[in-house]
Amino acid sequence: MTERRQKFANLGPGLCFASPWVVGFVLLIVFPFLASLYWSFCQYDMVNPPRLVGTENYQRLFRELKTGEGFGKAVFNTAYFAVFSVPLSIALGLILAKFLSWKIRGQAIYRTIFFLPSIIPVVAASILWIWLLDPQDGMINYLLSFIGLGQQNWLNQSREAISVDNVKQIGQSIQTGGPLRVFGSKDGLVLISLWGVGNWIVIYLAALRDVPHHLYEAADIEGLGGLRKFWHITIPMLSPVIFFNLVMGLIKSVQTFTSIYIISEGTGAPNESLLVISLHLFVSAFSDLDMGYASAIAWLMFLGLAICTVLLFRTSRYWVHYRAGSV
Amino acid sequence: MRFENIGRHLILISLAALFSIPLLVLFSGSLKSKEQLTRDPYSLVSDEVHFSNYHDAVAAMPFWQYTLNSLTLCIGCVIGTTLSCALIAFSLSKIRWPGRTVLWWTVIIALLLPWHVTMIPRFLIISKLGLYNTLWAIILPTFLGEAFFIFLLRQFFISIPDELFEAAQIDGMSFWQMFSRIAVPLSIPAMATVALFKFIEVWNDFGSPLLYLNDPQKFPLAYGLERFVSSYADQTHLLLAAAVLFTLPIIILFFLAQKTFVQGISTSGIKG
C-alpha cells in the first residue's frame, strides 16, 4: 500500500513538469496525425466541411504513379535526388573526414573551411547557387569549361545525368562534336547538397576518434596499405554511424523543400523537373486548396519512408557492425 | 614523413579551395558594381570596392523591419523552446512517476514523424486559434516543447548524478527548487546548445513564414529575402549583398560558439 502510494506520489509534479508536452503531443501531433488520415479519404477545400469520398484520392495518386504525371513525377524526382545525394554525401563526408583526421598543422582551419558551408542559411545558399549554376555566366560552368564541359544547363533544363535518354544524347554529341550537355536541374540540386556535407563530417570525425588505435597498429604489422586499412578497419568500425547517416539522410533528402521552392520559384520548374513530393504536397494544399489529395500525398509519403526505413534496418544486420557494449 | 605531410596539405588545400570558392565569390561579388559583375564575375580581388551595394540592398526592401521580425521570432522561440524542453526533459529524467516511459516513447515517435503528415491540420489549428498572419503562429507552438530538443536535454540531465537530487530531497527541496537550483545551473552548456540551434533554425526558417504569414510587415528576413529574389532577379549584385547581410550573423555566431556547435552536432547526430 505504501509502496503503491509512493509510486504515485510523484505523479502530480511529474505530470505538471511534462504538461507542455502532453498538450503539445495531443494537439500538434496526435490530432493532426489522425485528422490528415481522415481527410485523405475526403474532399476538402478548408472552406466547406470535408466530404467523405472513399479511396478516390488514393486511386488518383496510384493512377498518376502509373502515368508518371503529377505525383508520379514528384516521386521520380524525389527518388532521383535521394538516390544520388545520400550515397554521394556519405562517401564524400567519409573521405573528407578521413583527410581531416590527419594530424597536421592547420587541421582546425581546414575543418572550419569544410564545415562553414553547412551553416549557411538555405535561403542565402540558394540565391548564391542560382547565380553559380547560371548556364551563361555561372562560375561552375566557367570552371567546367576547362575540361570541355562548360555548357551545362544546370537549373534550366529538365535533364537527368543518369538516364537512358541522356546517355543516348551524349553519345550523339560525341559523334557530331556538339557541346556535351550532361547535367540537369536535379543534378544541380545534388551538387548543392554535397557542398553542405559539413554536418556529416563532424559526425564522422567524432566517430573516427573512437576507433581503437590498436587495430591500425595490428594492420601496420600485417603490412596493410592505407587504402586497405580504410576499407577493412575504418569503414566497418564506422558502419553504425554510416547507417545512422543513411537513415537520417534519406529522411532529410525526401523532405527537402526550401531550396527547391526558392530555385524553382515554388513551381517545380523547369518543366516540373524539380517538382518533388514535398513541393507537390504544398502546391496541392495551399494553391489548389485540395486538402484531401494533399493529405493522401502526405500519408503515402509517410508510409513509403517508413517502409524504406524498415528495409534499411533489415539490411543493416548484414553490414553494420556493432561493437560489444556499444549501441 | 615530411613529404607525406606536404602531399596531405596539397590534397586538403585543393579540396578546401573547391569548398570555399562559392563563399569567396559570394563576398567578392557582393562588393562589385553591376557592370563589374557582368564583365568579371569571379575575380576575388577587384580594382573598385562597392560597399554601396549593402546600402542599396538595405534600401531596396524593408530590411530593418524584416530583421526586427526575425529577431522577435528568434527570441520568442528560443525562450519557448529552452523553457518548455528543459521542464519536460527534467520530468522525463529526474522525477520518477508512472507514465514517464510512455511519455518518453511519444517523444521518440514525434522525432521520427515527417512534418508533412501534420502540416495541414496544424495550419488549420493555428488559423482556428486566430493566430494566422501573426508572429505568435510560429512562437506559441515552441512553448509546447519540441521532440529533438527534449531528446537532447534529457540525455544531458541523465548524466547528472541522482545522488544530488536525493540529497536535495532529504533537505526538503521541492521539485521546482531542484529544477531551478540544481538541474538548470548544471546544464547551462546543454541549454546554450539548444538556444543556439533554435536561434539558427528560426533565423533560417523559410517554411513557417511561408505557411503562416502573408502581411509583408510581418515577414522575417529569410522570407522577405526570397520575395526580393523574384523581384530583383536581374540585380545580382544587390541579391548577393543581401544574402551576405543575412548570412553574416550566423557566421559570427559560429565563430563565437564554435565548440558548442561541433559538440552539439556530434552528440546529437543531427542539427535541426
Confidence at residue B270, expressed as pLDDT on a 0 to 100 scale? 46
Q: Looking at the structure, do residues B17 and B109 belong to the same domain, yes or no? A: no
Most confident of A133-142, A194-203, A241-250, B75-84: B75-84
Residues B199 and B170 in one domain: yes
Q: Say which residue, B125 or A269, is predicted with more confidence.
A: B125
C-alpha–C-alpha distance, residues A48 and B27, integer Å: 50
**Mean pLDDT confidence for A63-86:** 93
What pLDDT is recorded for position B146?
93
**B57 within domain boundaries:** no
- Residue of B42, B222, B229 lying closest to A142 (CB–CB): B42
Q: What is the mean pLDDT of chain B?
A: 89
Among A156-160, A215-219, B170-174, whose mean pLDDT is lowest? A156-160
CA–centroid distance for B171 within its chain:
40
Ranges A61-75, A96-110, A220-234, B67-81: which has the least confidence? A220-234
pLDDT at A1: 46
Q: Confirm or reject contact between B167 and chain A (CB < 8 A).
A: no
Do B126 and B32 share a domain, yes or no? Answer: no
Region A66-72 average pLDDT? 91
**What are φ and ψ of residue A42, in 5° steps?**
-125, 165
pLDDT for A154-201, tens place per residue?
Answer: 877 666 766 777 777 777 777 777 777 778 788 889 999 999 999 899
Identify whether B55 is part of a domain. no
Mutation for A interface: B6, B12, B127, B263, most A CBs within 10 A = B12
What is the chain B residue with the closest CA to A99?
A: B12
Where do the domains of chain A lie? 60-119+195-319
Q: Is it the case that residue A131 has pLDDT exceeding 50? A: yes
Q: Of how many residues is chain B composed?
A: 272
Q: Which residues in chain B are contacts of A255 at CB distance < 8 A?
A: 114-116
Q: Which whole number is the average pLDDT over A275-285?
A: 94
Give the C-alpha distances (Å, rounded to integers) separating A17 from A88, B90, B145: 43, 7, 11
Distance from CA of B225 to the nearest CA of A (A): 8
The SS3 assignment for A43 reads strand
Considering the domain architecture, whether residues B241 and B149 belong to the same structural domain is answered as yes
**Distance between CA B120 and CA A283 in Å, rounded?**
12
Calculate how close chain A gets to B44, using CA atoms only, in Å: 12
Residue B80 lies inside a defined structural domain of this protein: yes
Which has the higher per-residue pLDDT, A210 or A1? A210
Number of domains in chain B: 2
According to the model, what pLDDT value does residue A5 have? 65
What per-residue confidence (pLDDT) applies to A325?
A: 42
Q: Does B44 touch chain A (CB under 8 A)?
A: no
**Mean per-residue pLDDT for B92-115?**
89
CB B54 within 8 A of CB B241: yes
CA distances in angstroms from B102 to A97, A137, B105, B253, listed in the order given: 38, 57, 5, 37
**Cβ contacts of residue A253 below 8 Å, gap of 6+?**
A78, A81, A82, A85, A86, A193
Provide the domain limits for residue B31: 2-50
Residue A138: closest C-alpha in chain B: B41
Flag whether B171 is in a domain: yes
Do residue A25 and residue B97 have CB atoms under 8 angstroms apart? no
pLDDT over 90, % of chain B: 54
**Of A272 and B245, the one with more pLDDT:** B245
For residue range B78-88, list pLDDT tens digits in order. Answer: 999 999 999 99
Does B216 lie in the same domain as B132? Answer: yes
Reported as a single tens digit per residue, the pLDDT across B178-193 is 999 999 999 888 899 8
Which of A21, A37, A307 has the highest number of chain B CBs within 10 A, making it the mutation to test binding with B? A21
Please provide residue B12's backbone torsions phi and psi, each rounded to the nearest 5 degrees.
-65, -40
- The answer to whether residues B45 and B128 belong to one domain is no
pLDDT of residue A51: 92
Q: Does any domain span residue B107? A: yes
Is B268's pLDDT higher than 70?
no
- Burial level of A198, CB count in 10 A (0-12/13-18/19+)? buried
User: pLDDT higher for A105 or B73?
Assistant: B73
Do residues B236 and B254 lie in contact, with contact meaning Cβ atoms separated by under 8 Å?
no
Q: Is the pLDDT of residue A38 over 90?
A: yes
Specify if B260 maps to a domain.
yes
Asked whether the predicted pLDDT for residue B266 surpasses 80, the reply is no
pLDDT band at B134 (very low <50, low <70, confident <90, very high): very high
Judgement on whether residues B27 and B83 belong to the same structural domain of the protein? no
Percent of chain A with pLDDT over 90: 49
pLDDT band at A117; cut points 50, 70, 90 = very high
> Do B39 and B74 sit in the same domain of this protein?
no
Q: Which residue has the higher pLDDT, A139 or A195?
A: A195
Domain of residue B209, CATH code: 1.10.3720.10
Q: How far is B191 from chain A (nearest CA, A)?
A: 17
Question: Does residue B164 sit within a domain?
Answer: yes
Residues B78 and B175 occupy one common structural domain: yes
**Which of B90, B117, B226 would you mutate first to test chain A, the one with the most A CBs within 10 A?**
B117
Q: Are residues B229 and B116 in the same domain?
A: yes
Q: Could you tell me the fold of the domain covering A60-119+195-319?
A: MetI-like fold (1.10.3720)
Please indicate if any CB of chain A lies within 8 Å of the CB of B120: yes
Task: Kindly report, residue by residue over B210-264, the tens digit of the pLDDT.
Answer: 999 999 999 999 999 988 887 887 888 899 999 999 999 999 998 988 888 777 7
Confidence of residue B267 (pLDDT cuts 50, 70, 90): low
How high is the pLDDT of residue A25?
Answer: 94
Residue B196 contacts residue B260 (beta carbons within 8 Å): yes
Residue A214, pLDDT above cutoff 70: yes
B140 close to A (CB below 8 A) = no
Q: Within an 8 Å CB–CB cutoff, is residue B106 touching chain A?
A: yes
The alpha-helical segments, DSSP class H, found in B113-235 are 115-128, 136-139, 147-158, 162-170, 175-178, 184-186, 188-204, 207-212, 221-231
Calpha distance A140→A150 (Å, rounded)? 8
Contact A99 B11 (CB under 8 A): yes
Percent of chain A with pLDDT over 70: 95
Are B230 and B163 found together in one domain?
A: yes
Asked whether residue B269 carries a pLDDT value surpassing 60, the answer given is: no
Nearest CB among A104, A110, A139 relative to B42 is that of: A139
How much of chain B exceeds pLDDT 70, in percent?
97
**Quick one: B119 and B208 in the same domain?**
yes
d(CA B36, CA B47): 10
